[in-house]
């Protein structure tokens, strides 16, 4: 397919799959798109292990890596002591988390026993941690490196350019796009407010043409609520060079969410998500649940990044463990990052099948547009 993104990344179809699941990443790359591995909660050693597996299973096709280095967080410019940060979490917030859990018959004690990479998350936000992650990422033949939050640090851009690896960054406004271009970013991911995870307020339909208007020769990937080929075609009609999707892979056979979460995702409508700061301290869209409702109605103010994640992730991990065993209260609390496109995600299928469905739907949409131009 003719697209600047296809030419830049050497892929067949300009569909990029952001996923924390290595199986999804490899499957999408093999199917003609590009899998991008989300590595925010991994240690350098874990990242090396995952990329080794992806490299061996992507059939020689291109793949990428997504890291996260925000512009602002607690202690920026200083060495982060994750254990010290955890110890400094306010008692009022700890008590609130415990009360929410115990209000749903979930044990709220000894949450520090739960470990889901929160120390890695905090460490990767400091300069030395980020440098180690970049070193590992660039030791593999990645074809794209992305920064998911804020402008990529100069060290990322400089190292990527030295290796001929394009740098992508998410933007939520036209002003963000201009700043990213000035910083040297090669690909703009214009993520509308419908997107799962961190997102802005501007809708995808408005954001795409706004970003395209200032992008110049920098290709734009459309993101935010895009889960079908016809949506991808619409975005490209507005000037995007392809699509960046995350939520649509969550209900694939290979994806990482536990069965109870997939059940909730498959049953959800587009109205069943909420944009909240309760998970990371920055606005992110997630599946609405008793957990998100508690934070939105009577919760304390969210802590800045990375403190909010250090506070809540152990509780969410415990919720998922209990929900998987059938615990009713935990199932009510269970949530997951997902965009408003979840209302169109009604069937579990393989990641490769999703790519093929995107291609077929994209072609049908283009044919409908072409037919509309034919004189009767």
Q: Is the model's pLDDT at 79 over the cut of 80?
A: no
CATH 3.20.20.70 boundaries in the chain:
1-80+125-255+347-376
pLDDT given for residue 119 in this prediction:
54
Class of domain 1-80+125-255+347-376: alpha beta
DSSP 94-146: HHHHHHHHHTTT---S-GGG--SSHHHHHHTTSHHHHHHHHHHHTTS--SEEE
Of all residues in the chain, the percent with pLDDT exceeding 90 is 80
Mean pLDDT, rounded, for 215-242: 98
75 has pLDDT over 80: no
Q: What is the pLDDT of residues 316-364, one digit of tens each?
A: 999 999 999 999 999 999 999 999 999 999 999 999 999 999 999 999 9
pLDDT, tens only, 241-284: 999 999 999 999 999 999 999 999 999 999 999 999 999 999 99
Residues in the chain: 376
- Cis upstream peptide for 269 (omega within 30°): no
**250: CB partners within 8 A, 6+ apart:** 257, 261, 262, 265, 336, 338, 345
């Amino acid at each position: 397919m003719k697209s600047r993104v296809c030419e830049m990344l050497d892929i067949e179809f300009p569909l990029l799959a952001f996923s924390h699941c290595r199986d999804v990443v490899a499957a999408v790359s093999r199917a003609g798109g590009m899998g991008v591995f989300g590595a925010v909660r991994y240690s350098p050693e874990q990242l090396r292990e995952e990329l080794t597996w992806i490299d061996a299973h992507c059939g020689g096709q291109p793949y990428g890596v997504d890291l996260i280095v925000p512009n602002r967080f607690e202690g920026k410019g200083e060495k982060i002591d994750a254990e010290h940060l955890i110890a400094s979490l306010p008692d009022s917030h700890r008590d609130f988390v415990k009360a929410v859990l115990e209000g749903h018959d979930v044990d709220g004690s000894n949450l520090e026993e739960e470990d889901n990479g929160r120390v890695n998350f905090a460490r990767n936000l400091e300069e030395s941690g980020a440098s180690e992650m970049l070193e590992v990422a660039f030791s593999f033949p990645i074809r794209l490196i992305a920064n998911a939050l804020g402008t990529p640090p100069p060290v990322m851009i400089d190292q990527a350019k030295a290796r001929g690896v394009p740098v992508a960054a998410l933007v939520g406004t036209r002003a963000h796009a201009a700043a990213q271009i000035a910083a040297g970013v090669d690909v703009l991911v214009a993520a509308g407010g419908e997107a799962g995870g961190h997102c802005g307020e501007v809708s995808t339909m408005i954001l795409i043409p706004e970003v395209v208007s200032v992008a110049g020769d920098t290709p734009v990937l459309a993101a935010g609520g895009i889960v079908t080929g016809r949506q991808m075609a619409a975005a490209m009609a507005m000037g995007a060079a392809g699509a960046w999707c995350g939520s649509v892979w969550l209900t694939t056979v290979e994806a990482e969410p536990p069965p109870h979460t997939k059940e909730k995702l498959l049953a959800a409508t587009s109205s069943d998500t909420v944009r909240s700061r309760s998970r990371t301290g920055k606005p992110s869209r997630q599946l609405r649940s008793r957990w998100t409702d508690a934070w939105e109605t009577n919760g304390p103010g969210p802590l800045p990044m990375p403190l909010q994640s250090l506070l809540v992730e152990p509780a969410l991990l415990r919720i998922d463990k209990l929900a998987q065993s059938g615990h009713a209260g935990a199932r009510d609390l269970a949530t997951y990052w997902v965009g408003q496109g979840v209302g169109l995600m009604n069937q579990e299928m393989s990641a490769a099948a999703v790519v093929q469905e995107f291609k077929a739907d994209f072609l049908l949409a283009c044919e409908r547009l072409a037919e509309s131009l034919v004189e009767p």
